[in-house]
Amino acid sequence: MHRHPEHTAIAAKVTLQGALLDAVLGVMKIVTGVLSHSTALVADGIHSLSDLLTDALVLIVLRFSGQAPDEDHPWGHARFETVGTVILGSVLIAVAGAMAYDSLHNLLSGETLSIPQWPALLVAALSIVGKEWIFRYTLKVGKEIKSDMIIANAWHSRSDAFSSVVVLIGVAGAMMGWIWLDAVAAVVVALLVGKIGWDLTWDSLRQLVDTGLPPEEVERLKTLVMSVDGVINVHSFKSRSMGSNSLLEMHIQVAPFVSASEGHQIGDNAMLKLLKHNEDIGHIIYHIDTYDDAKLDQKGFFTPLPMRSTIEPDIERFFAQCAVPVKPWRVTLHYRKDLIDLEILLLEEDLQALLNSGTTLKELIAGLRDHLEQPRWFGKVYLGAGQID
C-alpha cells in the first residue's frame, strides 16, 4: 500500500510552488512590517516563513511515505505522512506561542506603540490574494491524490490568508487611531495558527493510536458487506487509518454447509464490493465463520473438537468391518460451535452392495454412531452415494 509515483511528483510540485510563494511573502511582510512599524505584519511574516519549514517537512515525508512496502514496513510507509502531519501541527503550535508571547509583551509593556504606515496595508492585501490562491490550488491537488498531509498543508496556507485579513484590519484600525489594534491583531493571528496546529496534531495522533473510523462510517461498511449474497452476519469488525487509507478487519459468517471455496468466494465478493464503493480502503482482512464467534468468552476460547486426522480413520474402520467391506469415497466435516456434522459419500456401487447385504441406511448410521469413540462431539450424519465422473 503506497502512493502512486505520479501522485508523489504532483504533491512535490504543488509544495515547491507554495514554498516559493511563502518565501517571497514572508520576506516582504517582515521587511515591510519593520519599515512600516506593524507588529502584526511582522508576526504574519514569521508565520509565512514558518511555512517554509513545513513545506520542507512535507517534501521529506513525501519521499518516504510514497515508498512501496518492504521487509521492515510490510504495511507500507503511509505512517510517515501521519508523523509528518503531527510534526507540522506541532511547529504551528510552537510558532503561535512565540507570536502570542511577543505580541502580548508589546501590548502590556506600557511602551508607546508606533502607528503603522500604508505599505503594511498593501502587503497584507497582496498576502491575502496570494495565500488564498495557493490554498485553493493545494487543496484541490490534495483531494485529487487523497493526501491528508497535502490537505493539511493547504489549510496551513489558508491560516496565513486568515491571519493576513486580521493584519489588514489591525493595521487599518491602528492607522485610524486605535494603535493597540495592531498588537491585538497579532495575538489573534497567533490564536488562529495555534488552533489549526492543534487540530492537525490531534487528528494525526488519533490515527497513530489506531482510532477506528466514525461509527456511522463503520455501519455503512457493514451494511455493504451484509448486502452480499451468502453473508449471514458480519462481526468483530475493526477499522483504523493509515495515511489517507482505511484498513479493515472483519469476521464474515456464512452457512455451515458451504464449502471452503464457496465461503472464500463469498468473502472475496464482500471485499470487492467494499473496494468498489470506497476508494480510500487500502487493505481488507476477512475471516470466514460458520457461526457467530463474537459470542464466545472475552478471551475467544472455543470448544476443542477433534480434527480429520482423528475422525476419518475411525470412520474408515467402521466401514471396513461392515458385512461388505467398503471405503468412504468422500468425508466432509461441518464444524459448528460445539458439534461436528458428518457428510459421508460412498461410491454408488459400494452403497448398493451394503444395502443388498440386508443392512438398511438407518442401521448403517446407527452403527456408525455406536462405533465413534467420542459421541459428545457427534452431530448429524448424512450418508449417501457419489459417482466418479
Q: Sorting pLDDT into bands at 50, 70 and 90, what band is 2?
A: very low
Of the two residues 45 and 387, the one the predictor is more confident about is: 45
Same fold, 215-293 and 308-386: yes
Q: What percent of the chain has pLDDT over 90?
A: 16
pLDDT of residue 65: 58
Q: What is the pTM (predicted TM-score) of this model?
A: 0.59
User: Quick one: pLDDT at residue 22?
Assistant: 80
69 versus 87: which is more confidently predicted? Answer: 87
When pLDDT is averaged across residues 97-103 and rounded to a whole number, the result is: 75
Please list, in sequence order, all residues whose beta carbon lies within 8 angstroms of the beta carbon of residue 64, skipping any fewer than 6 positions away.
77, 80
The topology under which CATH files domain 5-208 is Alpha-lytic protease prodomain-like (1.20.1510)
For the segment 256-280, the average pLDDT, to the nearest whole number, is 88
Over residues 198-243, the pLDDT tens digits come to 877 887 777 777 777 888 988 999 999 999 999 999 988 988 877 6
pLDDT greater than 80 at residue 371 = yes
- The band of 287, judged by pLDDT with boundaries at 50, 70 and 90, is very high
pLDDT exceeds 70 at position 295: no
Per-residue model confidence (pLDDT) at position 291: 78
Determine the pLDDT at residue 10. Answer: 77
pLDDT tens for 309-335 read: 888 999 999 999 998 999 999 999 888
pLDDT value of position 1: 45
Mean pLDDT of 108-120: 62
Instruction: Please name which of 288, 217, 286 lies closest in space to residue 246, comparing C-alpha atoms.
Output: 217
Q: How confident is the model at residue 68 (pLDDT cuts 50, 70, 90)?
A: low
Match domain 308-386 to its CATH number in 3.30.70.1350, 3.40.50.300, 3.40.109.10, 3.40.640.10.
3.30.70.1350
User: Is the model's pLDDT at 362 over the cut of 80?
Assistant: yes
Q: Taking 50 as the threshold, does the pLDDT of residue 129 lie above it?
A: yes
Compute the distance between CA of residue 252 and CA of residue 233 in angstroms, rounded to an integer.
6
> At which residue does the C-alpha cell 484498513 appear?
247
The predicted pLDDT at position 258 comes to: 85
Q: What does pLDDT average to over the chain?
A: 79
Regarding predicted confidence, which is higher, 287 or 296?
A: 287
Distance CA 334, CA 379 (A): 9
Best CATH choice for the domain 215-293 from the list 3.40.50.970, 3.30.70.1350, 3.40.50.1980, 3.20.20.70: 3.30.70.1350
Q: Spell out the domain ranges in the chain.
A: 5-208, 215-293, 308-386
